[in-house]
Amino acid sequence: MSLTRANFEAELVTRQQGRMEAVEMDVTSEGSNADLNGPIGFSIRKCGGAVASFGAVADADISAFEEDEYDKLIDIAEYRLLLNIKGRWGKVDIRAGQLSENLSQFGKDLDEDIKTALENLRNIHGFGVGSISGGALDYDFAQTDE
């Protein structure tokens, strides 16, 4: 069975629903969640695919990938989703007399989770890691004696 946009969204919502709700992102997973379009499209492009429409990733865009690539696709999309959540979080600590709210802790926790997600992407999927290649240079000249 191939991965559909709705399946993709459902997995991302399952992983990050609480955080998405905290920043007032849509948590539906019917295949048309605008808040998940960016992370899914980013993931497809980073995995070598292309999207027909930048503003609306479709099932056909995802169907180009094999089952063994699904984990990488979803993990990269989750990383981008965490970045988007961080971008939407603008709350800071509040103190009024004896009452206080430490709202910045959410952002600090996100920073740690983003760092961990990137490390996992590098370790598990080689995301962002360069590759070594070999070759030879031919300058096409020869020295001759006169």
What residues does each domain of the chain span? 5-89
pLDDT of the residue at 134: 80
pLDDT digits over 96-141, tens only?
A: 777 777 777 888 899 999 999 999 999 998 887 766 778 777 777 7
Q: Tell me the C-alpha distance between 50 and 61, whole Å.
A: 7
pLDDT of the residue at 25: 94
Nearest to 128 by CA among 67, 51, 53, 42: 42
Contact residues for 65 (Cβ-Cβ < 8 A; gap 6+): 3, 44, 47, 49, 73
* 65 alpha carbon, distance to own chain's centre: 16
Query: SS3 breakdown of the chain: % helix, strand, coil, rounded to 5?
Result: 55, 5, 40
pLDDT of the residue at 93: 65
Mean pLDDT of 41-55: 92
What is the value of pTM for the model shown? 0.81
